[in-house]
Amino acid sequence: MGQKQRRPITATEVQTNSSAEGHSDHEHTPGDHLHEAPNSDFLSRMFGGGEVDHTTGEEVDAFVQADDFFYHYIQSSFDSQGNGAKGRISVLDGEAFEAEWITYAMARINPNTRARFTEAEARAFGVNAFEDNGRVVLHKNRGTPGTAVHESMHLFTHSSYARAMGFNVNEGTTELFTRLLCSRVGIRRERNYQDQFSAMNAVATGLDSGHNLLASAFFDGNYRALKDAMNTVPGRYDQWLALMQAGNYSAAKALF
Q: What is the Cα 228 distance to its own chain's centre? A: 24
Tell me whether residue 165 is in a domain.
yes
Tell me whether residue 12 is in a domain.
no
Tell me whether residue 98 is in a domain.
yes
pLDDT at 50 exceeding the cut of 80:
no
Q: Which of 168, 181, 167 is nearest to 59 (CA)?
A: 181
Total number of domains in the chain: 1
Tell me whether residue 109 is in a domain.
yes
pLDDT at 42 exceeding the cut of 50:
no
Contact, 122 vs 99, CB < 8 A? no
Range of the domain at 53: 20-253
Tell me whether residue 226 is in a domain.
yes
Tell me whether residue 1 is in a domain.
no
Q: Which of 253, 250, 245 is nearest to 27 (CA)?
A: 245
Tell me whether residue 153 is in a domain.
yes
Convert the pLDDT of each residue in 95-143 to its tens digit.
Answer: 999 999 999 999 998 878 889 999 999 999 888 999 998 999 999 999 9
Q: Which of the two residues, 252 and 51, has the higher pLDDT score?
A: 252
Tell me whether residue 176 is in a domain.
yes
Q: Which of 213, 238, 212 is nearest to 223 (CA)?
A: 213
